[in-house]
Structure 1
Amino acid sequence: MDKVIEKKKFNRKTIIIMVAAIVFIALVAYGYRLSLNKVYRVEADKITLSKVEYGDFEDVVLLNASVVPLTSVIVSSSEGGTVAQIFTENGSFVKEGTPLLRIANPNALASYTSSETSITEQINQLRKVRLDLEQNQRVMLQDMMDIDNKLRSATRKFKADSILFERKVITREEFTMSSQDYDYYKGRKSLLQQAIKQENQSRGMQLQQIESSIGRMNESLELIRQNIENMTIKAPVSGRLSSYDPVIGKSYSANEMLGKIDVLQGYKLQAGVDEYYINRVKEGQSAHCEFDGQTYKLKVNKVIPEVTAGQFQVEMVFDGKAPENLRRGLSMQTKLTLSDNSKSLLLSQGQFFQSTGGNWVFVEKDGKATKRNVKIGRKNYLYYEVLEGLQKGENVVTSSYDLFNQYDMLEITK
């Protein structure tokens, strides 16, 4: 009996055609995917890959601090002018009151001299008025003495004539004359007493005003003389003179800095801090530095929040023993501690941050790097703190993204 042979559904030719079609579709799909994702080819030695680590995040800022005196006093002139004489040099140790230089200003000097002469004349005039008042007082007192004397005589005669008139020894006319003289001098004395009282009150007010005016004028004279004397600039405190470079004939404006005097009472550190940390740096925070192989503790004494060229300034003082042999201008690397250490995912610092702001990174796997959104927290001088988007052991491109920050994928070639 014949056996029916079933016909195969797929022969070799059909299978080859199907495989070719699948490969073609895969290539088309890959090409389409590449068209959607912009790819940049980069050589491996042109980028830096950093591995995400897990460890202690040291919340510190590395600063390049300069040694400055604890106290510096600015030397300036209250009057502008040109340098006429120089008495000392930069770097010299000076005592308070030591002459440093002399400023010449002929116009100001002439003005001061004229004002001094005018005020002196006014003072002399007021003193003359005071003498006139005193002279007038003496005249009135002399008049009072004269009236008193005449009144006493008139009183004696009036009393005597009163007795004689009662006894009819003298006439009424003689008694009337005695009575009139007595009343006259008594009235004169009363009027003079009132005049003296009013004069004393007026003189007292005038003398008080005169003394007050003379006092103010003397103060003005003293100020003028002080301004003339201030043309010779003197050291306001004892210390070492710095930033001092006058030249004969050089002009200075009023209150312009001529130099500084460093008061030799110790030193502090001053450093510029990136404005990124402006809300995290506070007074009282601790820091430390190394000098001659020893570590010294510091604390933030002052924060100056004004930002210049992307930095603000901090001042740090030594917390305890300070190094010996410090001097102005020494540079010391300092670590400023912002908070305690904590366990975190760590990503090495790199220039990628300037391009992405820490919002995304390229994560590498099997020779390809793709974009991934991340969240970066704090940073120190070595690492960024990774809050979201990365896992321990992943490789991240941390070098600059300037050439390919508009691409979605990197193909890393060797």
Structure 2
Amino acid sequence: MDKIIEKKRFGRKTIIIAAGAVIFLGMVAYGYSLSLTRTYRADADKLTISKVAYGDFEDVVLLNASVVPLTSVIVSSSEGGVVEQIFTENGATVQKGTPLLKIANPNAMLGYTSNETGITEQINQLRKLRLDLEQNQRVLNQDMLDIENSLRTATRQYRIDSQLFAKKVITQMEFAKSSQDYAYYQGKKKILRQAIDQENQSRKLQLAQIDQSVNRMNESLEIIRKNIENMTIKAPVSGKLSSYDPVVGKSYGSNEMIGKIDVMQGYKLQAGVDEYYINRVREGQSAQCEFNGKTYRMTVSKVIPEVTSGQFQVELVFGSGAPNGLRRGLSLQIKLTLSDNSKSLLLAQGQFFQSTGGSWVFVVSNGSAQKRNIRIGRKNYLYYEVLDGLQNGEQVITSSYDQFTQYDVIEIDQ
């Protein structure tokens, strides 16, 4: 009988072909992976390489500050107008009340004059009303005098006639006449007294209202006269005039700044701070600066959070008085302390941050640099604080990454 021979599933030839295919695919995959790894060659002398180190992180920021007066007062005009006359110049030392310049505004002056005339007429009318009330009071008082005099005469006659009538010297008709006159003048005096009392109450109320109206009108007149006087702008305080550049014919709006007067009672520093620190700078923080070889301690007195051109402003005052020799406009470098020192991994500052924002760096090892993600915390004028991604002693390229941000590996030629 014939024997059925089973065919083998994988012969030697099949295995060799399969192994060759796997090796070929592996080489293709390796080549493809190499093509994905973008490499850049750079000269070592064109790179700045810094070593990650563990040390004290000084949480400070360096600021360029300007010396400004401790107190400055803005000079402005309550009424707009055109410069008619200039009495002093920029930089002059002035006393309070010193005339600085004169503003001309014909329309405003016409309005002030018209209002002043109208108010004066109203005051005169109220004063005439006061005189009329006083004259009426005098008339009533005179009437009272006449009635009281007539009443005294009638009273005297009534008493005499009463005695004569009792003795049967006069008739009933004659006694009745004197009695009638006596009663008439008594009643007339009572009615006039009531009229005078009512008139007095009304007069007091009217006079009080007149006085209030006159006082308000006089206050209005005073304001008008003061506004007219304010056309000549005077120094509100004593000090040194600055930011003052008027020209005859130049127009100023209402309440527009004309200049400033620096009160010469001390100095402070004003500095711009990068908006990066806006949540970390606050009033009361300490700082220090050097002037003429001495170090002076300072305190943040004011934080102005409005950001302009990437910066916000702070003001600092000297702890024990401003040093001698300071002048407005001098520039000083100050070191502002944000918090106490702490132990941290430190990486030197460099231009790489502008390209990466501190999210990744090139870490150097064995003649090449590999791209690695990191996390950076605080920064000062020398170092970044490394929170994650780097180890103590590792080396990092900290110069500019502008030429190789799109690469993954940098081959460093020595």
- The match for 1:284 is 284
Equivalences for 1:207-218 in 2 at 5 Å? Answer: 207-218=207-218
Q: 402-411 or 193-202: which moved more?
A: 402-411
Distance 1:23 1:48 in 2: 42
Residue 26 of structure 1 and its aligned partner are, at CA, apart by 8.3
Q: Is residue 274–residue 310 contact of structure 1 (8 Å, CA) maintained in 2?
A: yes
Q: Is the 8 Å Cα contact of residues 268 and 322 (structure 2) preserved in structure 1?
A: no
Report the TM-score, using the length of structure 2 for normalisation.
Answer: 0.91
Q: What are the Cα deviations for residues 266-317 of structure 1, in whole angstroms up to 9, with x where unaligned?
A: 1000000011111111111111111111111111111111111111111111
**Partner secondary structure for residue 296 of structure 2:** strand
Number of corresponding residues:
395
The residue that corresponds to 1:358 in the other structure is 358
Partner of 1:7: none
CA RMSD of aligned residues (A): 1.9
- Does the 8 Å CA contact 1:239/1:261 hold for their aligned counterparts? yes
Q: Determine the structure 2 residue equivalent to 1:155.
A: 155
Task: List aligned pairs for 1:176-191, cutoff 5 A.
Answer: 176-191=176-191
Q: Is the 8 A contact 1:296 1:321 kept in 2?
A: no
- Please tell me whether residue 145 in structure 1 is matched to residue 145 in structure 2: yes
Tell me whether 1:390 sits opposite 2:393 in the alignment: no
Distance (Å, rounded) in 1 between the aligned partners of 2:375 and 2:129: 86
- The one-letter code of the counterpart of 2:206 is Q
Give the letter aligned to residue 225 of structure 1. R
Give the partner amino acid of 1:154.
A
**Corresponding residue of 1:320:** 320
Are 2:204 and 1:204 aligned?
yes
Distance in 2, matches of 1:23 and 1:54, equals 47
**CA–CA distance in structure 1, aligned partners of residues 272 and 105 of structure 2:** 40
- State the alpha-carbon separation in 1 of the partners of residues 404 and 165 from structure 2: 140
Shift of 1:68: 0.2
Match of 1:66 in 2: 66
CA shift for structure 1 position 39: 2.9
Give the CA deviation at 1:326. 0.7
Mean CA deviation greater in 50-59 or 227-236: 50-59
Match of 2:11 in 1: none
State the Cα deviation string for residues 159-195 of structure 1 (Å, max 9, x = none): 1112211222111111111111111111110110000
Match of 1:57 in 2: 57
Instruction: Please give the residue correspondences for 1:1-12 in structure 2 after superposition, counting only pairs within 5 Å.
Output: none
Shift of 1:218: 0.3
Q: Contact (CA 8 Å) 2:90, 2:241: kept in 1 or not? A: yes
2:374 alignment counterpart: 374
Q: Which stretch shows the higher mean deviation, 370-379 or 119-128? A: 370-379
Q: Are residues 258 and 192 of structure 1, via their aligned partners in 2, closer, same or farther at CA, if it must alter by over 3 Å?
A: same
Q: Equivalent residue of 2:82, what SS?
A: strand
Using the TM superposition, give the Cα deviation of residue 28 of structure 1 relative to its aligned residue in structure 2, in angstroms. Answer: 4.8
When normalised by structure 1's length, the TM-score is 0.91
Output the CA distance in 2 between the equivalents of 1:128 and 1:402: 89
CA distance in 1, matches of 2:114, 2:387: 75
- Distance in 2 (alpha carbons) for counterparts of 1:321 and 1:84: 42
* Pairs within 5 Å for 1:251-270: 251-270=251-270
Q: Indicate yes or no: 2:223 matched with 1:223.
A: yes
Amino-acid identity (%) = 74
Q: Which runs of 5+ in 2 are unaligned?
A: 1-19
Alignment map for 1:394-405 (pairs within 5 Å): 394-405=394-405
Q: Could you tell me how far apart the structure 2 residues matched to 1:366 and 1:271 are?
A: 45
1:296 aligns with: 296
